[in-house]
Amino acid sequence: MLEVIVLAVALSMDAFAVSIGLGAKDNSRGLDLKAGLFFGSFQALMPFIGYLGGKGILGWVEAYAHWIAFGLLALIGAKMIYEGLHEGIEEDIAAITNKMMLLLSVATSIDAMAAGFSLTLLDINVYLACLIIGVATFAFSWLGVRIGKNSGTWLENKAEIFGGAVLILIGIKMLVT
């Protein structure tokens, strides 16, 4: 279960970083709850989709499943680190609408869908794992908007770099064990 909690925190860092940027940009009331609900819902759904896809092909690639999970987590982690070292898209957003939140939610949770494949290799309840990922993302997104409103974007890039590094470490652990 500890692996799922660590995975949830790492996957939440993308949404956390975007939420910080949104909070720094917009002081509208309820944005923290809106970000939590949008990002948390998609971060809970996407790993489940990845898990189902992983279960569907696990029989064909079972001998290489650990390598595939490592590769996916390493790529996702490297992408998050890269994005943490470069500017985000929050600066280009003119208005924070529901449509924009939907697009940002999908964009930040695509990685979670790929990471969902790794859930097939863990002896866990997938529904509980996805719920933990969704709740963690809700909490980090809510907190991110609050931090952004109060302190700006200084933590934004660091969160993505941290999350990427943790995903790479989880991938290495799956490969080794």
Residue 92 has pLDDT above 60, yes or no: no
CA-nearest of 101, 113, 98, 90 to 43 is 113
Considering its fold, how many domains does the chain have in total? 1
Structure tokens at 60: 């064909």
pLDDT in tens, 95-151: 677 888 888 888 888 888 878 888 887 888 999 999 999 999 999 999 999 988 887
pTM: predicted TM-score of the whole model, two decimal places? 0.76
| Residue 35 confidence (pLDDT) | 94
What are the two backbone dihedrals, phi and then psi, of residue 163, each rounded to the nearest 5 degrees? -60, -40
Measured CA to CA, the distance from residue 149 to residue 33 in angstroms comes to 13
Buried residues in 16-35 as b, exposed as e (16+ CB within 10 A): bbbbbbbbbbbeeeebbebb
Residue located via tokens 């997104």: 141
pLDDT in tens, 27-81: 788 999 999 999 999 999 999 998 988 887 766 766 676 777 677 778 777 877 7
Residue-range definition of the domain harbouring residue 123? 2-176
